[in-house]
């Protein structure tokens, strides 16, 4: 599968088959995250990989009751160990860097025949409590992962001319 094929095929999956994810696939997915770029090469991301059913169910509850989170055979809690670095543009690097690593995870998972879903609707403190995450660590996203049970659907996306401008804001592409 090419990168382009993975990008085109990747979808937010909210139904998973009752099938565990093989260790070798999971390790390739996590290795893809490890290779992601980060500001100043800080690599501030940390990942808690949850496979135990009771813990996954507790995470689903912490994710505003989104049951499918707990039904996925794997849930990855993507965290930032350090949140102090602010880039010259004024944005904190950790959120962007963790997001890049998570997209590496999503694309590698797609190549492995797995599905993922970005979850930002969760209670930070509840997730920390469930997973024993220290107070100073920030949970950036949850990402359930497993074999998709739902059918692929057509993606609705804006055309390039609606989202891309040439040279200046408002410039025609």
Number of Cβ atoms within 10 Å of the Cβ of 100: 16
Burial of residue 130 (number of CB atoms within 10 Å: 0-12, 13-18, 19+): buried
Distance, CA of 114 to CA of 122 (rounded, Å): 23
Beta bridge partners of 45: 80
Tens-digit pLDDT string for the chain (173 aa): 999 999 999 999 999 999 999 999 999 999 999 999 999 999 999 999 999 999 999 999 999 999 999 999 999 999 999 999 999 999 999 999 999 999 999 999 999 999 999 999 999 999 999 999 999 999 999 999 999 998 888 889 999 999 999 999 999 98
CA 138 vs. chain centroid, Å, equals: 14
Nearest alpha-carbon partner for 26 in 73, 85, 67, 92? 73
Nearest alpha-carbon partner for 32 in 94, 93, 92, 114? 114
Q: What is the pLDDT of residue 151?
A: 83
CA pseudo-torsion sign 43, 1, 69, 155: positive
User: What is the CATH class of 3-151?
Assistant: alpha beta
Question: Residue 41: how many CA atoms within 13 Å on its side-chain side?
Answer: 0
Nearest alpha-carbon partner for 38 in 79, 80, 94, 77? 94
Distance, CA of 167 to CA of 149 (rounded, Å): 43
Q: What is the pLDDT of residue 154?
A: 87
């Amino acid at each position: 599968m090419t990168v382009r094929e993975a990008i085109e095929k990747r979808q937010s999956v909210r139904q998973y088959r009752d099938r565990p994810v093989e260790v070798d696939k999971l390790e390739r997915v996590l290795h893809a995250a490890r290779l992601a770029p980060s500001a100043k090469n800080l690599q501030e991301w940390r990942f808690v990989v949850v496979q135990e059913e009771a813990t996954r169910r507790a995470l689903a509850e912490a994710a505003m009751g989104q049951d499918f989170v707990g039904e996925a055979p794997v849930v990855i809690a993507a965290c930032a160990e350090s949140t102090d670095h602010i880039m010259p543009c004024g944005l904190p690097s950790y959120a962007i860097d963790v997001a890049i690593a998570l997209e590496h995870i999503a694309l590698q998972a797609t190549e492995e025949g797995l599905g993922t879903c970005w979850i930002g609707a969760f209670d930070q403190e509840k997730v920390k409590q469930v997973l024993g995450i220290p107070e100073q660590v920030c949970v950036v996203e949850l990402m359930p992962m497993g074999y998709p049970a739902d059918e692929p659907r057509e993606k609705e996306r804006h055309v390039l001319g609606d989202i891309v401008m040439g040279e200046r804001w408002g410039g025609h592409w």
